[in-house]
Structure 1
């Protein structure tokens, strides 16, 4: 029997519903249950693909090519369960489906309304594409009280009635603020948030309270009394020094115990040794390395959430702390600022869109090449490294990307046709921006004897992509004569996937996003190797 857990948030946003959902999933897994996690986003965009990183943060891409909320990255990193297109839905997607049905005449002339049509569509999503999972954990985006989330709350209320308490559980995450001038915690915001939830017909079974200070027993009793809960169902969620300590912290607070008792399941002790090992490594490293991340959106670290975590995973694999130095690419358009890269042990240039900051990324790649600093270019970071090599090593001073205007030659150009399996996909320059990139998992064949083949230990790999422009394979021969090796290609040989400099200690660029598949208990091989190279670099400084 599949059980459904619905997680809502109140008082303020950004409390960590995604981490709470992911951690609960990890705890249930540790008890031997099979889990799936889903995110229901109230915004009207069809997906976050065309949203600014400053608005939404990272766009997380699944194997099947969906552009989704960054919380799906948390889900995968904590459970190892690959997310699918069917694990993230938005209001925009819901309304798009309903309007398409209405135009086809599927509603037989009925007036289309929020109830039942919108709520039925949401329920269909929640209950769809389920196999043999024991638990489906659904996080409802937004904050209780927002008008946008009302149809989602109504839908999960209806599901609770239809499936019954033996198959559903509601968890509500709130903030218990500390007022320094009064010297006490305030429970009233959480009480009001629960009342707001009760007003739409949902009684939470568990209340998770985020706080910077210990929530004493009197405060817990008060919350339980006014929120109509048992005291043991009031779970405190204190700040921790690493997010990978959250599963253990929630277990010690009894979260998974309350869930199992609610569903009448065996309350056996979960196996959490893997999380203990991870947190011990994070807290007690053998050393430290500094990585300079030269990006466009460095003022909002959530824009690089998976990248940040993948670097930490590389540190875990090498038992070192990774200190990330976030650097705005634009500053390196002034050569006098390149000295800011002199104290890092590795340079990483991530993906991005648009021309702003690209010259700075090219200069960072040049600095890494000339000073033998480990360099990792991802997506646009690979393209900028190839352009740098063309300009400064292959006598092509005007080389550039057609993404930014006319270039002669266009080392990087618009991708208009490619293979997905046995089918040809095509795009045009004038087409919609949303969902028109090369998205999702694609295979690559690695050159025998190359550095990347040794790193992966494989000759064929599959990695996730999100880009519209591609390095032009036509220039391969001219670039390889300078020493830049095209060490990974699409199976048909038409799309460069990986480049490397064999003469350099560690200089690799990849067209895909390896950070999306890295996990703390299974660090991505490229990040493991990159941080290992940074450790070696630190010993030379």
Structure 2
């Protein structure tokens, strides 16, 4: 039977519950147990697919095509495994399911209520994940903050889990401990109030994890323990670290793995201390060769908008000994001020990421053109491949009106056009080309060199595709097709011949990159930046 660890948060949002949950999963894996993680999101959206990146951060896409919360990316990277759509539960999914069942008469005429019907639906979904994974431990992160009205059904559901089987459930509660610089004090009162809110609901935390800018000293741990009803060694300090990937090691220094296992009357199955994860974290500080990269995108005001991308770049950098510095450059600024923002040998590479809509597109096109003409390593992902195609068509093939149907549908030269399968689609949520597809790689291409195989399987999230009417002209002028989806003859990658590294891909390789298995394309891209001499 699976053991359940429920992770809640208090005081404020964005504390790092996802990182803690993923780190705890990593610890339990390294102690010999199987682990899966799921996220409960209290928002009423059915999924994250139509949420604005400025408001919510990136949309993480699973192999089976679910558009999920970005925390699933943390889970996959730390656990070194792929998760699925059932690992993300939203209020929207739960309410929709309950209402559909009510309309079908499945509740046999009973009055449908939050308790037991809504909470029962939540619990059944958690149980489904446990049964599908057969994991020793199921870690359940509850999104939001204790006290939020929308999160109450989820908190009640996990309380019911514990009430039915207390021997197989524990709770970890993350709170924020503010630091007052004027008095040089860490204040634990918000933590006390937060745990008090939990206890009113009927949940007593097993672990209290204190997040903050500084380490929580022993006397403050004892104070938290006294007011929160936990042993002092069950109060865990988690200050800001130089890398999120060091969190599992830091937690283990406080014997978190032992505390969790002993709460279930269990012991580690392995005594290995120098695990692959520990050895990986050593490479972070050993990366010494500096390089600077510009990500030219439209959502640069929020770091989380390109979270998986930045992580994948660092995976590739650490694997090659590169100390990579990333600047987020607003494509609208490039559009208004020109390529001087990228000039003067400041960067060793340019990356244009995915996105939607025409805002800032001309700035991205300028960035792709700058990389092409200055022999600067370039990687275009999804939209980044499309803008590179438009730039090439305009300035190499002399097609002045080259554009995308997404940005200028009236153009007579649509280099990028709506996929046939997307025509007539009215609903936005969950209707794009989503999930993993297998592509055939062109022999002798840079993509083939990077993957070292004849095929690749990566995740997708797009509606628009390269127009094959221009394929011959592109290849005749040195822009080679490097990968295709053979079932529909879709161009999945383009690369420029006689260039140090100029590759565009329609898929999202950042979504599959993991610290222990860096994305091949990012390793190749960083190597190209290391070879670049500005």
**Does residue 78 in structure 1 map to residue 84 in structure 2?**
no
Equivalence for 1:501: 496
**Does residue 244 in structure 1 map to residue 245 in structure 2?**
yes
Counterpart among 343, 352, 356 of residue 355 in structure 2: 352
**Alpha-carbon deviation of 1:337?**
3.8
Distance 2:339 2:444 in 1: 37
**Alpha-carbon deviation of 1:96?**
0.7
Equivalence for 2:149: 147
Distance 2:488 2:122 in 1: 43
Counterpart among 502, 522, 527 of residue 532 in structure 1: 527
Q: Indicate if the aligned counterparts of 2:58 and 2:305 stay in contact, CA closer than 8 A.
A: yes
**Alpha-carbon deviation of 1:181?**
2.4
Equivalence for 1:442: 437
Distance 1:343 1:181 in 2: 39
Aligned pair in 2 of structure 1 residues 108, 438: CA closer, same or farther (>3 Å)?
Answer: same
Equivalence for 2:212: 211
Equivalence for 2:514: 519
Equivalence for 1:287: 289
Q: Indicate if the aligned counterparts of 1:351 and 1:378 stay in contact, CA closer than 8 A.
A: yes
Q: Indicate if the aligned counterparts of 2:57 and 2:304 stay in contact, CA closer than 8 A.
A: yes
**Alpha-carbon deviation of 1:232?**
1.0
**Does residue 134 in structure 1 map to residue 132 in structure 2?**
no
**Does residue 408 in structure 1 map to residue 409 in structure 2?**
no
**Alpha-carbon deviation of 1:299?**
0.9
Distance 1:113 1:223 in 2: 37
**Alpha-carbon deviation of 1:274?**
2.7
Equivalence for 2:470: 475
Answer with 430-439 or 195-204: which moved more: 430-439
**Does residue 92 in structure 1 map to residue 97 in structure 2?**
no
- Unaligned stretches of 5+ in structure 1? 418-426
Q: Give CA deviations for 1:78-133 in whole Å, capped at 9, x if unaligned.
A: 01121100000100010111111111111111111100110000001111042321
Q: Indicate if the aligned counterparts of 1:245 and 1:275 stay in contact, CA closer than 8 A.
A: no
Distance 1:428 1:104 in 2: 32
Distance 1:410 1:33 in 2: 53
Counterpart among 361, 366, 371 of residue 368 in structure 1: 371
Q: Indicate if the aligned counterparts of 1:119 and 1:155 stay in contact, CA closer than 8 A.
A: yes
Aligned pair in 2 of structure 1 residues 430, 40: CA closer, same or farther (>3 Å)?
Answer: same
Q: Normalising by structure 2, what TM-score?
A: 0.97
Distance 1:337 1:469 in 2: 26
Q: Give CA deviations for 1:288-330 in whole Å, capped at 9, x if unaligned.
A: 1111100000110100000010111111111111100110011
Tell me the secondary structure at the aligned position of residue 458 of structure 1: coil
Tell me the secondary structure at the aligned position of residue 404 of structure 1: coil
Q: Indicate if the aligned counterparts of 2:425 and 2:431 stay in contact, CA closer than 8 A.
A: no
Q: Indicate if the aligned counterparts of 1:451 and 1:502 stay in contact, CA closer than 8 A.
A: no
Q: Indicate if the aligned counterparts of 1:31 and 1:271 stay in contact, CA closer than 8 A.
A: no
Distance 1:356 1:393 in 2: 24
Q: Give CA deviations for 1:117-171 in whole Å, capped at 9, x if unaligned.
A: 100000011110423210000000000000010000000000101122x211100
Answer with 490-499 or 167-176: which moved more: 490-499
Distance 1:347 1:197 in 2: 47
Distance 2:84 2:64 in 1: 6
**Alpha-carbon deviation of 1:522?**
1.1
Distance 1:527 1:478 in 2: 28
**Does residue 197 in structure 1 map to residue 201 in structure 2?**
no
Equivalence for 1:265: 266
Residues paired across the two proteins, number? 529
Following superposition of structure 1 onto structure 2, how do residues 98-109 of structure 1 map, counting pairs within 5 Å?
98-109=98-109
Tell me the secondary structure at the aligned position of residue 128 of structure 1: helix
Q: Normalising by structure 1, what TM-score?
A: 0.96
Equivalence for 2:381: 378
Equivalence for 2:43: 43
Equivalence for 1:432: 427
**Alpha-carbon deviation of 1:279?**
2.8
Q: Give CA deviations for 1:254-298 in whole Å, capped at 9, x if unaligned.
A: 211100100111145454543333333222323111111000001
Distance 1:508 1:43 in 2: 37
Distance 1:150 1:493 in 2: 46
Q: Give CA deviations for 1:323-344 in whole Å, capped at 9, x if unaligned.
A: 0011001122246443524310
Tell me the secondary structure at the aligned position of residue 111 of structure 2: coil
- Unaligned stretches of 5+ in structure 2? none
Q: Indicate if the aligned counterparts of 1:398 and 1:409 stay in contact, CA closer than 8 A.
A: yes
Tell me the secondary structure at the aligned position of residue 394 of structure 1: coil
Distance 1:326 1:359 in 2: 17
Aligned pair in 2 of structure 1 residues 272, 116: CA closer, same or farther (>3 Å)?
Answer: farther
Q: Indicate if the aligned counterparts of 1:80 and 1:519 stay in contact, CA closer than 8 A.
A: yes
Distance 2:388 2:3 in 1: 49
Q: Indicate if the aligned counterparts of 1:49 and 1:59 stay in contact, CA closer than 8 A.
A: yes
Equivalence for 1:305: 307
Equivalence for 2:187: 186
Q: Give CA deviations for 1:143-202 in whole Å, capped at 9, x if unaligned.
A: 0000010000000000101122x2111000001112222322111110110010000010
Q: Give CA deviations for 1:474-513 in whole Å, capped at 9, x if unaligned.
A: 2111111111001100022521100001211101000000
Superposed structure 1 runs of 4+ greater than 6 Å apart = none
Tell me the secondary structure at the aligned position of residue 15 of structure 2: coil
Counterpart among 444, 456, 463 of residue 458 in structure 2: 463
**Alpha-carbon deviation of 1:534?**
0.1
Distance 2:187 2:272 in 1: 33
Q: Indicate if the aligned counterparts of 1:248 and 1:272 stay in contact, CA closer than 8 A.
A: no
**Alpha-carbon deviation of 1:430?**
5.2
Following superposition of structure 1 onto structure 2, how do residues 157-168 of structure 1 map, counting pairs within 5 Å?
157-164=159-166, 166-168=167-169
Q: Indicate if the aligned counterparts of 2:177 and 2:210 stay in contact, CA closer than 8 A.
A: yes
